C-alpha cells in the first residue's frame, strides 16, 4: 500500500469527524437551552392567569380588569411584546412594553377597542419576555400564545 495516499485520506476523515462532532455539540447545547426555556414558562402569569395551554378560558373583560403580567416571586418583568389576532380580522401589534408589567398605551387601547367592536375569539401572542431573576440575571423566557373566549 502507498502510505503517501493514506495520510491525506486520514486527514480528510479526521476533518469530517471533527465537523460532525462540533455539529452534534451545537445541537445538544440548543436542545438543552430549549428545555430550560420551557421550564421557565411558569415564571409569568399573563392577566393573572396560570398559563397552562393555548385554551385559557380568559375573556376580554378579564384581560381589561387585570391588564398585567404577574411574575412569580423572585422575578421582575423587564420587557415583553404583545400582539392580538381577532378572528377574521387583521393582526394588531406587536406592542412592546418596557419597565412595567402592565399593558399601557396602544396595547391597552387595542384591547379596549376589540371589546367595543364585539370581537369574540382573539389569539393573544406574548413574546420577547425578559425577566430579571433574584440573581440579577436577565433571561428571555419562552413565548406564550392563547385564545380568549368571549
The greatest distance separating any two alpha carbons of the chain, rounded to the nearest whole angstrom, comes to: 84
Q: What is the separation, in whole angstroms, between the first and last Cα of the chain?
A: 79
- Please state, rounded to an integer, the average pLDDT across all residues of the chain: 80
Nearest C-alpha neighbor of 85 from the set 147, 129, 43, 36: 147
Question: According to the model, what pLDDT value does residue 149 have?
Answer: 78
Question: According to the model, what pLDDT value does residue 107 have?
Answer: 95
Identify whether 94 is preceded by a cis peptide bond (ω within 30 of 0).
yes
Question: According to the model, what pLDDT value does residue 31 have?
Answer: 43
pLDDT in tens, 81-132: 999 999 999 999 999 999 999 999 999 999 999 999 999 889 999 999 999 9
pLDDT in tens, 87-96: 999 999 999 9
pTM above 0.85, yes or no: no
Residue 55 makes CB contacts below 8 A (sequence gap 6+) with 146, 147, 149
Alpha-carbon span 50 to 42, nearest angstrom: 8
Question: According to the model, what pLDDT value does residue 106 have?
Answer: 95
Alpha-carbon span 143 to 14, nearest angstrom: 40
pLDDT in tens, 9-47: 667 776 776 666 655 555 554 444 443 443 565 788 888
Number of neighbouring beta carbons within 10 Å of residue 125 = 16
Residue 79 has pLDDT above 90, yes or no: yes
**pLDDT: is 6 or 108 the higher one?**
108
Query: Is there a contact between 108 and 78 (Cβ–Cβ < 8 Å)?
Result: no
Amino acid at each position: 500500500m502507498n502510505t503517501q495516499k493514506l495520510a491525506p485520506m486520514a486527514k480528510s476523515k479526521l476533518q469530517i469527524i471533527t465537523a460532525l462532532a462540533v455539529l452534534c455539540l451545537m445541537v445538544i447545547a440548543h436542545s438543552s437551552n430549549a428545555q430550560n426555556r420551557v421550564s421557565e414558562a411558569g415564571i409569568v402569569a399573563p392577566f393573572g392567569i396560570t398559563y397552562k395551554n393555548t385554551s385559557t378560558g380568559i375573556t376580554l373583560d378579564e384581560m381589561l380588569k387585570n391588564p398585567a403580567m404577574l411574575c412569580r416571586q423572585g422575578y421582575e418583568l423587564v420587557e415583553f411584546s404583545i400582539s392580538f389576532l381577532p378572528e377574521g380580522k387583521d393582526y394588531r401589534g406587536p406592542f412592546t412594553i418596557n419597565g412595567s408589567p402592565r399593558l399601557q398605551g396602544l396595547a391597552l387601547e387595542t384591547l379596549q377597542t376589540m371589546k367595543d367592536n364585539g370581537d369574540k375569539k382573539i389569539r393573544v401572542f406574548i413574546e420577547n419576555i425578559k425577566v430579571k431573576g433574584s440573581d440579577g440575571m436577565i433571561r428571555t423566557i419562552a413565548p406564550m400564545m392563547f385564545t380568549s373566549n368571549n
